[in-house]
Structure 1
Amino acid sequence: MSSSSPAVPSRTDRQQSRQLAISEAVMAAGSLRIEQIAERFDISVMTVHRDLDELEDRGLLRKSRGVATASSTALVESSDVYRVGRQQAEKEAMALAAMEFVEPGQAIILDDSTSTMHLLPHLHTKTPLTVITNTLTIMNDLRGMRGIEMIGLGGEFYNWCSAFMGRITVREIAELRADLFVMSTSAIVDDICFHQTLETVDVKRAMFESASKRVLLADRTKFDKRALHAMLPLADFDVVVVDAATDRRHIDRMRDAGVNVHIARRPAAAR
């Protein structure tokens, strides 16, 4: 009996992992010269320039005169490159919990958060479904998936989050009515969801208003962060899904305030 070989990471996976590592190295140091990055990661200077150009487009850092400099924390944390590698196990557990609210035949809205992307590998278990999203990454991942009808929202494309936003996007959302909306947030302050960018707030509010049931995914780190723009109170969501390591004080406070909190437990195999 032959044993299966481990999956070989694709070129895109390797590039994303390297870019995440580069961004973290620059953030830790404050700034690094391009030659230092090339030596540390054993890559060519040309490859460093390409990676830095993409990371700069996503708001993670700035490149000037041969030096990469970290951007502000708020903008960095809003970037999809930064977010995609964070709290992977917790996001998977929350996604599995959110799947309990997905039913065949539904129209569901997914926002541009990396937490909701963890639902994608599980959607085939609840088909047929209509998926509505403004996120190019989700559109690409679901393209051609059997049993999934996809509605892609247009608008102005924002490279830092790989999503379409703006007035056109909000107008398109307003013309739709979905059964379920699953979203995440950058920060939770005073039991209110906050985000760093007003464009994101406008789109998520429109999605919220267009759905019959709304589910928020919020891992424990969201309660320790702050952001500029208020978005939606936790009490307005039908369900707030948190990970098992969330401070009990936050859970008790939310429940005392009438928030329907669901604690996502990690599968035994993942512990």
Structure 2
Amino acid sequence: MAVAETVFARGNVSVEELAALTGVSTMTIYRDLAALEDSGMVQRHRGRVVALASSLHEADADFRLQQNTSAKKSIASAAAALVPHGSSLMMDDSTSGIWLLRAVADLGSMTVVTNSLLVANEIASARSAKLVVTGGEYQPWAHAMMGQYVTEQIASMHADFCFLSASGIAGLSCYHPYQAFAEVKRAMMRSAHTSVLLLDHTKMSRRALFKFADLTDFDHVVVDSGLDPDLVARLREAEVSLVVADPPG
């Protein structure tokens, strides 16, 4: 349906913008939105309609940044302890990376390579760290650059670390709804000496379409304390290098 396609293409949009873009009445839009909300595909948030994550779609980056913040902060604190002074970091559009930047004590000594404008703006606003932003095709809902130009640039570099997240986990494999985003994650893993997955426990119950790695491919998988203890034990038995963050203080 036109309303759903427009919301997922843009990530978040107002009802008035939907009416202008689709050419249908606001009454029809509200009826369609009610059905989409009932199916868990969208949510109304701060006066805007936001696409929610699913096996085929990822949620808007601004919306994701405000979700599960307590878990993401604890993960960021544990992950920041892995990063020595003066490191170079590759970071994709994962919003967990924003919390990591806020947790790193000496960010000014770092060099950050990213395809994410949220990451870039976070560094620019703090006037810290050397920043390298890739080119590529801009995806508004992700606030990030994507495409072959991104992966080619990443392939031409080498960093000490890459920090990524996953939209969903199935078995021991990591997935994302969009192939282009999965390719960026794979490229960063190939171009980094140490790869780190930032994974809040809600991702364990989600599914997505494109596999980009196995959990065992990462040097560290940092999770929050909300992950089921039995699952923690099973992952460690499978030789996943798991770091469980301390509970939020």
Would the TM-score normalized by the shorter structure come out above 0.5? yes
Shift in Å at residue 59 of structure 1?
6.0
The answer on 1:266 being equivalent to 2:247 is yes
CA-to-aligned-CA distance 1:62-111 (integer Å, 9 cap, x gap)? 83421153457525543213312211000000001110111111110111
Q: What is the aligned counterpart of 1:214 among 195, 202, 223?
A: 195
Cα separation, 1, equivalents of 2:120 and 2:107: 18
Shift of 1:126: 4.5
Structure 2 counterpart of 1:224? 205
Q: Is the 8 A contact 2:57 2:177 kept in 1?
A: no
SS at 2:230 equivalent: helix
Q: What does 1:75-90 correspond to in 2, within 5 Å?
A: 77-90=58-71
Change (3 A) 1:247 1:164: same
What is the one-letter code of the residue matched to 1:193? C
Match of 2:10 in 1: 57
Which one has the largest radius of gyration? 1
State how many pairs are aligned: 217
Q: TM-score, normalised by structure 2?
A: 0.80
**How does 1:1-271 map onto structure 2 within 5 Å?**
57-58=10-11, 63=18, 64=22, 65=24, 66=26, 67-68=29-30, 69=33, 70=36, 71=41, 73-74=53-54, 77-143=58-124, 145-268=126-249
Q: CA RMSD in A?
A: 2.3
Q: TM-score, normalised by structure 1?
A: 0.74
Deviation at 1:239, TM superposition (A): 0.7
- Equivalent pair of 1:55/1:61 in contact (CA under 8 Å): no
CA distance in 2, matches of 1:200, 1:61: 26
Distance 1:234 1:97 in 2: 18
State the structure with bigger RCO (CA 8 A, min sep 6), 1 or 2. Answer: 2
For structure 1, the 5+ residue unaligned runs are 1-30, 32-52
For 1:103, what is the secondary structure of its paired residue?
Answer: coil
Q: Flag the 1:60–1:212 CA change in 2: closer, same or farther, 3 A.
A: farther
Deviation at 1:57, TM superposition (A): 1.4
Taking only the aligned residue pairs, the percentage that are identical comes to 32
**Cα deviations by residue, 1:33-66 (Å, 9 ceiling, x for unpaired):** xxxxxxxxxxxxxxxxxxxx88861167983421
Separation of aligned partners in 2, 1:171 and 1:205:
12
Distance 1:193 1:264 in 2: 20
> Which secondary structure state, in structure 2, belongs to the residue aligned with residue 258 of structure 1?
coil
> 1:244·1:264 contact (CA, 8 Å) conserved in 2?
yes
